[in-house]
Amino acid sequence: MPVPFEALLPWGIITAMFGVTGVGLYYTKKLGNDGKKARWNRDLWDRWQSVTSVLPDHSEDNPVIHKRRLGLS
């Protein structure tokens, strides 16, 4: 026995609303990030830079412990 199309209308509306919500969230995140895609799993280097607004002055080849972190300055 076939299903009347009126029974499928709510499913179509719900599916469409999930799509509209997903697109809206995507563009909201993109707008909040100056038009760039949202970033995931920011590493420690990014966190340190965002907290201090200063690029770290060390690398894997030349590790430096910041005096500020040790309380020396």
- For residue 33, the model assigns a pLDDT of 80
Spatial contact of 38 and 29, defined as CB atoms under 8 Å apart: yes
Amino acid at 56: P
One digit per residue, the tens of pLDDT, for the chain of length 73 reads 787 888 899 999 999 999 999 999 999 988 888 888 776 666 666 666 666 655 555 555 555 555 555 555 5
Under DSSP, the state recorded for 56 is: -
- For residue 21, the model assigns a pLDDT of 98
- For residue 20, the model assigns a pLDDT of 98
Among 27, 47, 45, smallest CA distance to 37 is for 27
* Ranges of each domain in the chain: 5-70
Under DSSP, the state recorded for 71 is: T
- For residue 6, the model assigns a pLDDT of 87
- For residue 22, the model assigns a pLDDT of 97
